[in-house]
Amino acid sequence: MKVVDYFEVAEGVLPTALPLYETYVPMGFPSPAENYTATSLDITTYLIRRKATTYYIKVEGDSMYPVIQSGALLVVDRSLYPRSGDIVVALINRELMVKRIRYSEDQIYLVAENQAYPTVTITPYTDFEVQGVVTFAINQFKKFD
C-alpha cells in the first residue's frame, strides 16, 4: 500500500463535537428505545492520544485490503514501539509503504493482508525504518458529491 498524502495533526484547531449514542448499536436490528444521545464526542480525542507524535496519511492500493481500503485515511503514532502483528508505515529503500510487521527470531518481515502481494524480508542490507504504528484506519464507504 503506497502513501499518497501526509498531514501533521494541527495544534490549536477547534474540536468538533458530534452526538454520541449512549449505547452500542447492534449490527442487526436496533431497538427504537435506544435512539437518544447522552453526550457528545470530539473524534480527535478518540483517535489521537499524543498530538506531538501523531500524523495522518492517505494511502492507495490494495495490498492491505480488506483491512485498509484504497483511499483510507490512517492515524499514525511515531511514539509507539511496533509489536509483531501491528500495521506500520515503513520506509524501505526510500519508499513509504504500509504493511503488517512480523518478527521471527532474528528476522523482520513486512506482510501484506492481500495474499497476492509478496512478503518483504528485511535484511541487514535493507534501508529500513519504521515511521510509525497505524492506530486507526478511516475507510470511506460513501463518496460525497
Confirm whether pTM is higher than 0.85. Answer: no
Say if residues 84 and 22 touch (Cβ distance below 8 Å). no
Distance CA 88, CA 43 (A): 22
Query: How many percent of the chain have pLDDT more than 90?
Result: 48
pLDDT range class, residue 27, cuts 50, 70, 90 = low
Mean residue pLDDT across the chain: 82
Nearest Cα neighbor of 73 from 89, 86, 59, 61 is 59
Q: Per residue in 51-109, pLDDT tens? A: 888 888 899 999 999 999 998 989 999 999 999 999 999 999 888 999 999 999 889 99
- Active site members: 63, 99
Q: Is the pLDDT of residue 17 over 80?
A: no
CB contact set of 106 (below 8 Å; sequence gap of 6+)? none
pLDDT band at 25 (very low <50, low <70, confident <90, very high): low
- Opening angle at CA 74, ends 68 and 77, nearest 5: 125
